[in-house]
Amino acid sequence: MSERTATAAPPAGIRPRSLRQLDRVAAAIFAASLRGSCWVFLLVVAGLAAELVWGARLSLRTFGIGFLWSSQWNPVTEQFGAAPFIYGTVVSSGIALVLAASVGILAAIYLAEFAPRRLGIYLGLLIELLAAVPSIVYGLWGLFVLAPVVTTWIGPALQASFGFLPIFQGTIYGVNMLTAALILALMIVPTITAITRDLIAAIPMRQREAALALGATPWETAAKVVLPAVRRGIFGACMLAFGRALGETIATTMVIGNRPVISASLFAPGYTVASVIANEFTEATSDLYLSALIELGLILLVVSLLVIGLGRLMVRLFIR
């Protein structure tokens, strides 16, 4: 009994003067550290961008704006161009996003709306576990399991049914743009599913009950009442996932074929910015070579910011 009263804090409002001052100082420090951490982060990113520009200056000077659409990548004659890498990055991530968004959103709707509660929890957990798998494991699985599957089943099937489309023509290599897009899709599905499911779960039951009361089927409720309400959030989740796919290095480099070409076919090998930097950075001993790789990194940063910025702009203009 005595112990309890000895350690109890004085009632709120009746504090000695020194404690109040201490409170104010503590509050000020807390606010400053919060603001500070925000600014530190922004400064680090700005410093990163500045460092990239500084490192790329030789390449920027030598190749100028033509670097963006040149398809040459010749370390021997030191002719470098970014076009195949930008193409590879954007196409593989774009296709991955389309695949992941379609599967992920539907999965999230199922988990949040239709699945029995227990099953929903366990399935959701399993999907989130996918996000915890290291990318090199995805890369190894992609190389040894998915690539042969694409070569023997998925590729020929697509070519047989849709072979008239230029994206499904040509020789089917195991390591190609399609395999890379599939692996990336697998890696970003958990992000989209988890975020979408939480968003959907946050919609109050009353809206669903109202829709059902008006005679809507569960499917109509999900499609016309729930989904539109979370459109903005889903878009945000997709942008997040796209950003992750743009920067994914190891898993992509193991399954994309590492060939700096732009080809119409999805079955042809490709190359992404992150892969080429990871592959060639340690052996790039000449200054121009190194500078060209750093410029590629700068381009990736700019492309990521542009795409995500555009996404947010679209959300603001068109959604709600």
Partner 1 sequence: MTQAATRSRRARRTGPHLLSAGVLVGALAMAPAALAATQIVGAGSTFDFPFFSKAFYDYTAKHPDVTVNYQSIGSGGGIQQFTARTVDFGATDVPMNAKELARAKGSVLQLPVTLGGEGIAYNLQGIAKGMRLTSEVIADIYLGKIIKWDDPAIAKLNPGMKLPDMKITVVHRSDGSGTTYIFTDFLSHVSPEWQQKVGTGKNVQWPAPSSIGGKGNEGVAGLVKQTPGAIGYVELAYLLQNSMTYAEVQNKAGKYLYPAENTVAAAAATKPDVSATNFSIVDTPCAECYPISGYSWVLLYQKPQDPARGKLVKTIMTWLVTAAQPIAKTVDYVPLPENVQQRALGVLAKTEL
- Residue 265 in the binding site for partner 1 (CB under 8 A): no
Among 132, 205, 282, 317, binds partner 1 (CB under 8 A): 282
Among 135, 193, 253, 291, binds partner 1 (CB under 8 A): 253
- Residue 267 in the binding site for partner 1 (CB under 8 A): no
Give the shortest CB-52-to-partner 1 separation in angstroms: 18
Nearer to partner 1, 200 or 268 (CB): 268
Give the shortest CB-271-to-partner 1 separation in angstroms: 8
Give the shortest CB-168-to-partner 1 separation in angstroms: 17
Give Cβ neighbours of residue 81 (< 8 Å, ≥ 6 apart).
63, 66, 67, 68, 69, 70, 71, 72, 73
Nearer to partner 1, 176 or 221 (CB): 176
Nearer to partner 1, 73 or 242 (CB): 73
- Give the residue from 237, 249, 259, 246 showing the smallest Cα distance to 300: 246
> Do 193 and 104 meet the contact criterion of CB atoms below 8 Å apart?
yes
- Residue 264 in the binding site for partner 1 (CB under 8 A): no
Beta bridge partners, 74, equal: 79
> Do 171 and 257 meet the contact criterion of CB atoms below 8 Å apart?
no
Nearer to partner 1, 36 or 148 (CB): 148
> Do 72 and 283 meet the contact criterion of CB atoms below 8 Å apart?
no
For residues 183 to 222, the per-residue mask of contacts with partner 1, x marking binding by CB under 8 A and - elsewhere, is ----------------------------------------
- Residue 75 in the binding site for partner 1 (CB under 8 A): yes
The SS3 call for residue 309 is helix
The SS3 call for residue 73 is strand
Side-chain-facing half-sphere of 45: CA atoms under 13 Å: 8
Give the shortest CB-265-to-partner 1 separation in angstroms: 12
Distance CA 271, CA 262 (A): 9
Nearer to partner 1, 44 or 157 (CB): 157
Using the 8-state DSSP alphabet, how is residue 187 labeled?
A: H
Touching partner 1, residues 84-113 (CB under 8 A): none
Give the shortest CB-268-to-partner 1 separation in angstroms: 9
- Give the residue from 152, 195, 167, 165 showing the smallest Cα distance to 92: 167
- Residue located via tokens 């492309």: 303
For residues 138 to 177, the per-residue mask of contacts with partner 1, x marking binding by CB under 8 A and - elsewhere, is -----xx--xx--x-------------------x-xxx--
Touching partner 1, residues 17-46 (CB under 8 A): none
Using the 8-state DSSP alphabet, how is residue 178 labeled?
A: H
The SS3 call for residue 37 is helix
- Residue 254 in the binding site for partner 1 (CB under 8 A): yes
- Give the residue from 241, 239, 237, 234 showing the smallest Cα distance to 307: 239
Give the shortest CB-274-to-partner 1 separation in angstroms: 13
Distance CA 268, CA 256 (A): 9
Residue numbers of the site for partner 1 (CB under 8 A)? Answer: 1, 3-4, 72-77, 143-144, 147-148, 151, 171, 173-175, 253-254, 257-259, 269, 271, 275, 278-280, 282-286
